[in-house]
Amino acid sequence: MRKILKTFTISVIFMVIVIVVTACTQNVDFKMYEGKKLDIAVIGEPPEVKEEQVIFTEISFDEMTPENLTSYDAVIITENNLSEAAEDQYAEVYSESTIPFFFIGTDNFAFFTEKDWQYDKTSEWTAGRSYAVGILTSKEDDTLKHWGFGLHNDIKNNEHLKEMYSRVFLLIDELDTAQYTNQSSISEVTTEKDLNKDSKEDLEDNNETNEKVDTSIDETAEEDAISVKEKYLQQLEYTKKEAEELEATDSSTYALKKMENDRWELWDKLLNEIYGVLEAQLPSEEMDELREEQRNWITYRDDSALEASLKYKGGTQEHLEYVAVLAKLTEERCYKLVMDYMK
């Protein structure tokens, strides 16, 4: 009887283990990119993806020139090439490119867009941070836009990497569509202006009126310069409210990390927008000083987040604390830039 009971107990335990393992390893139904064909240049080994309509072409850093990149929709730089990608001579290529660049294995794009920065391997991926970052300079306001791409459940495996790339492809397609739409709009406006050209006599008759309009434009420009600061003071409060309203989907560490990461991304996006406005507003000498200050602040931000997280080293709270400090310091930096520098 005891032998039968023991055999039954072992069988039940085995079944429970099988069920638990199966539940934990069950594949999530990830959504693939189903858009148009994409031609993507890759420095490094092309990634494994599910999408057959995405074509990869391996290129070298020497081939990474504006002329050679015109036939591609985007450029991907893989993990093993990040150190070389951060060399000074490539910074202008990234910032002036009309197609997005994606750096795999890091969430810090500053090494690639700022000169005199040596690539720091501490910025490479760890759980709780984005696994890849994409950048593109907006042609509308000349500000650097960036996007982070995390891994599902902070787990690095082939399935989660493929899912991440599907999101990268979706963004590439959206950016390409937006650029095409903007170019079409510009062409339509230009055509309309050509069709409505005033005659030479009309222009001469309107000289006096035009002079008055020029004066009002100068006054309006001055008013706009003043209102920019007010606009961003309002934006700060709006973003603060939006960040405070973010809630975790549950009490798990993963959900809490995602909430803090979303909060950080809100402030980081606004920070880059503010920085872009200041680049247009400030005199070159003052902007150079601010640029150096910003570099020092990024180092301070990352060091502070790392120091805070080490209190929980090896625990589930480590990466949660890291991202939470990033969000808090980035929020403070946004307020300082607007209050102290914006006009």
- For residues 121 and 171, membership in a common domain is answered with yes
- Mean pLDDT along residues 31-37: 88
- Across 7-16, 229-238, 248-257, the highest mean pLDDT is recorded for 229-238
- For residues 221 and 169, membership in a common domain is answered with no
Q: Give the distance between the most distant pair of CA atoms in the chain.
A: 113
- pTM recorded for the entire structure: 0.51
Q: What is the pLDDT of residue 4?
A: 47
Among the candidates 179, 197, 214, a domain finishes at 179
On the question of pLDDT at 205 being above 70, the answer is no
What domain range includes position 173? 38-179
On the question of pLDDT at 90 being above 80, the answer is yes
- Mean pLDDT along residues 258-279: 88
Q: What is the pLDDT of residue 192?
A: 39
Domain count within the chain: 2
- For residues 62 and 137, membership in a common domain is answered with yes
- For residues 128 and 232, membership in a common domain is answered with no
- For residues 270 and 215, membership in a common domain is answered with yes
- For residues 233 and 320, membership in a common domain is answered with yes
Express each pLDDT in 208-227 by its tens digit: 444 444 434 344 444 444 56
Express each pLDDT in 172-196 by its tens digit: 998 877 665 454 443 344 333 344 4
- Does residue 70 lie in a domain region? yes
On the question of pLDDT at 8 being above 60, the answer is no
- Mean pLDDT along residues 298-313: 88
- Does residue 17 lie in a domain region? no
Q: What is the pLDDT of residue 178?
A: 67
Closest CA to 88 of 123, 108, 61: 61
- Does residue 187 lie in a domain region? no
- For residues 162 and 209, membership in a common domain is answered with no
- Across 157-171, 193-207, 258-272, the highest mean pLDDT is recorded for 157-171
- Does residue 31 lie in a domain region? no
- Does residue 7 lie in a domain region? no
- For residues 130 and 245, membership in a common domain is answered with no
- For residues 121 and 226, membership in a common domain is answered with no
Q: Which residues contact 10 (CB under 8 A, 6 or more apart)?
A: none
Express each pLDDT in 108-158 by its tens digit: 888 888 877 777 766 677 777 789 999 998 777 777 888 888 888 888 999
- For residues 52 and 137, membership in a common domain is answered with yes
- For residues 153 and 81, membership in a common domain is answered with yes
Q: What is the pLDDT of residue 177?
A: 72
Lowest mean pLDDT of 2-16, 116-130, 283-297, name the range.
Answer: 2-16
C-alpha distances in Å from residue 321, one per residue of 3, 23, 170, 194, 326: 52, 29, 31, 58, 9
- Does residue 195 lie in a domain region? no
- For residues 236 and 320, membership in a common domain is answered with yes
How far is 4 from 196, CA to CA, in rounded Å?
Answer: 96
- Does residue 2 lie in a domain region? no
On the question of pLDDT at 313 being above 70, the answer is yes
330 vs 249: which has the higher pLDDT = 330
- Does residue 21 lie in a domain region? no
Q: What is the pLDDT of residue 28?
A: 54
